[in-house]
Chains A and B, each alone.
Chain A
């Protein structure tokens, strides 16, 4: 039983990612995705929300093929980024991951200095001109609203930062690579309200330059940040639409029940 999902009213906006009949199954049979069809609009925040185990994170990890590391048993359908199938055997996975950055639920800074955290990805990509690296550091830190706090101690170990600062550093780390798309998997789940506010505020700035896909850690955050929202339940996409409409007048009973807190 597949629910018909109306495409968002997106006249005149470019589609960044198209997910077509996408299904996924793990070897241990845990999480699955069933026949997902979803179009993600460029320069907007798309929120994937729903109860735990619904497949949001799995979908997110497919978009930069981080799921290659997991034991995937079956995969079918296509995911197109700028019209190119990312699962094409000839596709450049490393290039894809540079183009599609990711921020994880728990802030994971690499065991090195703040500066090295930011330049790590660039150096792997072969960039070693100091001017370029310095430029990337200041740009990404400013975009992640962290520049003021750390610009005078870039060589300190990143682990010395507070949790909120670490998470913004993680955001800056993916921004340093100048990706097209940023995936955020419950990026504020461990943060205090003030840090959460800072991250959410920078997302609104960032969407001018990037396509943002966010798995929020609460329905409230979903409602606050979403330009577009997709509701996932047990591996199926139940409803997809523009954020305001979906959170005020959901079309599906299940969506309404979840938003109003009847389950989940």
Chain B
């Protein structure tokens, strides 16, 4: 039974590889929680950094990441969902639509640092928004767009065609059908996609490096035209640019960042699974 032995060895090898792939993820998260957990305190979360950032908290970075995520949502959600509606409800299968799809695929593949260059060229210099929350949010928005478009389109397409036909047959226009039937049914899927897109934006560093991130700010940003600190950039700064940085603060910052990102991931998965359970079609 040579063949069965080969199969058993093969399956064993593959499960070992799968284990090797996912085990580090669990270990990394546990490791960061253990190492960083000790510095987490109210002062650390809500305090300002001082002493060359070697003491104090990370509040400005938390607020900054929140602002950037919010700013990204403001631009990318309406645009992305509208584009998904176009692709799912209006576009016919022609050359232009294929070109749009190709453009979306390409947008999703462009390196994040190239987005940073683009944001620098267009928003910071050409449109003169300066190094600001606005420039950084716009840059992150375009980067997030393909994720939001493709997941939203998938959610819209999952709504049964029959609902549309019925709605049209009782005298609804195409847009009324979309607004009253298709969008509400696709909403959980769209929300999931939006959160997953924003999760990516919240964790990115390269696109904001030259468009809006500040090394250190003694106060919170007051307007969209101010630069801001941000969690991922802050982690980069304190782990590479600040000599003799206390290691606990580094781990603590990493812990807050992954909590932020993983919480979004969990919410997205929760919305998705709850919608699946409640779906009636």
Interface positions of A (Cβ within 8 A of B): 64, 66, 69, 94-95, 97-98, 101-102, 104, 106, 108, 110-111, 120-121, 124-125, 157, 159, 170, 173-174, 177
Q: When the two chains form their complex, are residues A159 and B280 in contact, meaning their CB atoms are under 8 A apart?
A: yes
How many Å lie between the Cα of A31 and that of B46 in the bound state? 69
Q: Across the interface, which residues of B come within 8 angstroms of A111, CB to CB?
A: 163, 181, 184-185, 280-281
- B41 sits at the interface (CB 8 A): no
How big is chain B's contact interface, by range? Answer: 10 to 19
**Could you pull out 7 A-B pairs where Cβ atoms are within 8 angstroms?**
A66-B169, A94-B172, A94-B173, A108-B165, A120-B167, A124-B170, A159-B281
Known: A111-B181, A111-B185. A97 touches B168 (CB 8 A): yes
> Closest residue to A120 on the B side, CB-wise?
B170
Q: When the two chains form their complex, are residues B166 and A98 in contact, meaning their CB atoms are under 8 A apart?
A: no
Q: A94-B173, A159-B280 are in contact. List 10 more A-B contacts (CB 8 A).
A: A97-B169, A106-B162, A108-B162, A110-B181, A111-B181, A121-B171, A124-B176, A125-B171, A159-B281, A177-B170
Q: When the two chains form their complex, are residues A177 and B280 in contact, meaning their CB atoms are under 8 A apart?
A: no
> Closest residue to B280 on the A side, CB-wise?
A159
B206-254 contacts to A, CB under 8 A, are none
> Closest residue to A116 on the B side, CB-wise?
B180
User: What number of A-B contacts does a CB cutoff of 8 Å give?
Assistant: 61
B175 vs chain A, min Cβ distance (A):
11
B275 vs chain A, min Cβ distance (A):
12
> Closest residue to A69 on the B side, CB-wise?
B168
Q: When the two chains form their complex, are residues B168 and A110 in contact, meaning their CB atoms are under 8 A apart?
A: no
A75 vs chain B, min Cβ distance (A):
18
How many Å lie between the Cα of A148 and that of B247 in the bound state? 73
B170 contacts which of A69, A101, A106, A159 (Cβ < 8 Å)?
A101
A97 vs chain B, min Cβ distance (A):
5
How many Å lie between the Cα of A80 and that of B160 in the bound state? 32
How many Å lie between the Cα of A157 and that of B279 in the bound state? 12
B140-196 contacts to A, CB under 8 A, are 160, 162-163, 165-173, 176, 180-181, 184-185
How many Å lie between the Cα of A102 and that of B167 in the bound state? 11
In the complex, the 5 A-B pairs of residues with the closest C-beta atoms, listed nearest first = A121-B170, A108-B162, A98-B171, A159-B280, A97-B171
How many Å lie between the Cα of A101 and that of B280 in the bound state? 25
How many Å lie between the Cα of A64 and that of B172 in the bound state? 13
B30-86 contacts to A, CB under 8 A, are none
How many Å lie between the Cα of A102 and that of B172 in the bound state? 13
B185 vs chain A, min Cβ distance (A):
6
Q: When the two chains form their complex, are residues B176 and A66 in contact, meaning their CB atoms are under 8 A apart?
A: no
Q: When the two chains form their complex, are residues A104 and B165 in contact, meaning their CB atoms are under 8 A apart?
A: yes
How many Å lie between the Cα of A7 and that of B173 in the bound state? 36
A104 contacts which of B162, B171, B172 (Cβ < 8 Å)?
B162
Q: Across the interface, which residues of A come within 8 angstroms of B167, CB to CB?
A: 110, 120
How many Å lie between the Cα of A104 and that of B163 in the bound state? 11
B156 vs chain A, min Cβ distance (A):
14
A239 vs chain B, min Cβ distance (A):
29
Q: When the two chains form their complex, are residues A108 and B163 in contact, meaning their CB atoms are under 8 A apart?
A: yes
Q: Across the interface, which residues of A come within 8 angstroms of B184, CB to CB?
A: 111
Q: Across the interface, which residues of B come within 8 angstroms of A102, CB to CB?
A: 169
Q: Across the interface, which residues of B come within 8 angstroms of A110, CB to CB?
A: 163, 166-167, 181
Q: When the two chains form their complex, are residues A94 and B163 in contact, meaning their CB atoms are under 8 A apart?
A: no
